[in-house]
Amino acid sequence: MLTLATTSPGEPEIFASLQGEGPSAGMPVAFVRLSRCNLACVWCDTAYTWHFEGDNRPHRGGETFERKANQVTLDVADVAARIAALRQKRLVVTGGEPLLQAGALAELLELLPDMSVEIETNGTVQPPARLDIRVDQYNVSPKLAHSGNPADLALIPERLDAWASDPRAFFKFVIAAPGDVEEVLALQRRYRFRPGQVFLMPEGTDSATLRTREAWLAPLCLEHGFHLSDRLHIHLYGDTRGT
């Protein structure tokens, strides 16, 4: 069984769209969004995957979500059939934190052997071999101090060492202020991220905010040799589910 986020009560968040972020931006893909997360970013734009009633971890929106309306559990074969019906060649597994459901996720990918797969992860969980063998790309998004997560939970040295040595891994850092880039540079020195692995992405859930932050983030990417990642889906569809 897999536990998924929903687009509306009872409807799993499985959809076709264009990848909006990172190295695959612009590619047509199938998305599946899993529920639950082991971190709690204060600016998270998918808080409905984890910030349920009774969860006292801070989030700037202040809203908590009813679990029953925002989470659905489905048989793995059902999820695979829904994904296959979208007729896409590439699958993006996102969350929440997908690797919290690694066992069931491995079963899912075994039912979709012809799809290329990328997984979006916060980088804190080690993928088991049964899953890892079926993944073509990891979009690893370590959480910086402004996320509100304690560093000992969000930046686990042995995991970052492993991701840095994996040629399938790309690092996507959410940037809210110019000073955040200094933190990225310190992590790059410590873990020897290759500049071509690193994407800097402005934090924001509307086009105006993204454009304002890109104006100062782009020169910093040029200065340090990093990629700039936009959030294409925000410009196309707004901050909405199932897009």
pLDDT tens, position by position, 33-91: 999 999 999 999 999 999 999 999 999 988 899 999 999 999 999 999 999 999 999 99
Residue 38, pLDDT score = 97
Residue 216, pLDDT score = 98
What's 206's DSSP letter? Answer: S
Residue 99, pLDDT score = 98
What's the average model confidence in pLDDT over 169-186? 98
What residues contact residue 38 under an 8 Å CB cut-off, 6+ apart? 97, 100, 122, 124, 125, 153
What's the average model confidence in pLDDT over 146-156? 97
Tens of pLDDT, residue by residue over 2-15, are 999 999 999 999 99
Tens of pLDDT, residue by residue over 102-135, are 999 999 999 999 999 999 999 999 999 999 999 9
Quote the percentage of the chain above a pLDDT of 70.
100
**How many residues belong to the chain?**
243
Question: Is residue 195's pLDDT more than 90?
Answer: no
Residue 145, pLDDT score = 98
**Is 217:228 a contact under the CB 8 Å cutoff?**
yes
Residue 136, pLDDT score = 98
Residue ranges per structural domain of the chain: 2-237
Residue 62, pLDDT score = 86
Residue 176, pLDDT score = 98
Amino acid identity for residue 103 in this structure: G
Q: What is the token pair recorded at 155?
A: 């930046």
pTM of the model: 0.96
Average pLDDT across the chain, whole number: 97
What's the average model confidence in pLDDT over 215-221? 98
CATH of 2-237, one of 3.30.2040.10, 3.90.650.10, 3.40.50.2300, 3.20.20.70: 3.20.20.70
Quote the percentage of the chain above a pLDDT of 90.
97
Helix-strand-coil percent breakdown of the chain, rounded to 5?
35, 25, 40
